[in-house]
Chain A
C-alpha cells in the first residue's frame, strides 16, 4: 500500500477550480511536490516545496500542505490541464522519493 493517498480521479468543468489531495500521516511535516503528466509525455514539476511554482507554470496552479493532507489547486481549469497529477515527498530515512498513486484530472 502506498504511503501517499490520492483520489484516482477528479472531474471539473472548464473555468472552475480543481482540487487534488494527497493524504499521508503527518504529511504536513514534509515538503510535498507535484507533477503533471499528460498522455505519452514525461512528468513536469508544477509545484515544489508545497506551494512554489517553477518558472513557466501558470499562477493558476497553487499548493498547500497541512496536517495529514497536501492539496494541489488548479483555478480556472482549462482543457489543456487534463492530465495525471502525482504528489511526491522525500523519505529522509531511506533517502528515496515516495510517490502518490496519481490522480487523473478530467475536464468536462
Chain B
C-alpha cells in the first residue's frame, strides 16, 4: 500500500525537543523528495522543510530555521524532523508529503499532532 505514516508527536513544554518520523511504503522511497507541512488548528497549510531524494539538499522555512533539522534514512524508508526549542507557535499537526519531482504533492500522511503547552 502506497502511504506515508507520521509519528512522534505529543505534548511537550516550551523549550523541549521532539523527533518526528515519516515512514514510507509502497513506492521507491529513495527516488523522491519529502516535505514537511504543518497546520495549526483551524488554520491553513504552512510549508516547513524539505529534504531531497538523496538527502543532499535541505531547506527550511524562516520560521523554523536553526531549530528544525530534517534528515532521512533511505535504508529504512524514513524521514525525520528534529524539532528543538519548541514554542507554543509550533503547535500544529505535522504532515509529511511526497513530491514527484514537480510542483505538487501527490501523497500526504495523516499527520502527527505536536502540542506545546506550559
* A-side contacts of B109, CB under 8 Å: 42
Bound-state Cα–Cα, A22 to B32, Å: 28
Chain B 45-70, CB within 8 Å of chain A: the 1/0 string?
11100100000000101000000000
Count residues on chain A whose CB falls below 8 Å from chain B CBs.
24
B residues contacting A by CB (< 8 A) are 35, 37, 44-47, 50, 59, 61, 95, 97, 102-106, 108-111
A33 lies within 8 A of B47 (CB): no
* A-side contacts of B106, CB under 8 Å: 45, 48, 54
* B-side contacts of A98, CB under 8 Å: 47
Describe A's contact surface by its main secondary structure: strand
Describe B's contact surface by its main secondary structure: loop
A residues contacting B by CB (< 8 A) are 2, 31, 33, 35, 41-45, 48-49, 54, 86, 88-90, 95-102
B103 lies within 8 A of A97 (CB): yes
Q: A42-B95, A43-B95 are in contact. Are A97 and B47 (CB under 8 A)?
A: yes
Bound-state Cα–Cα, A95 to B103, Å: 9
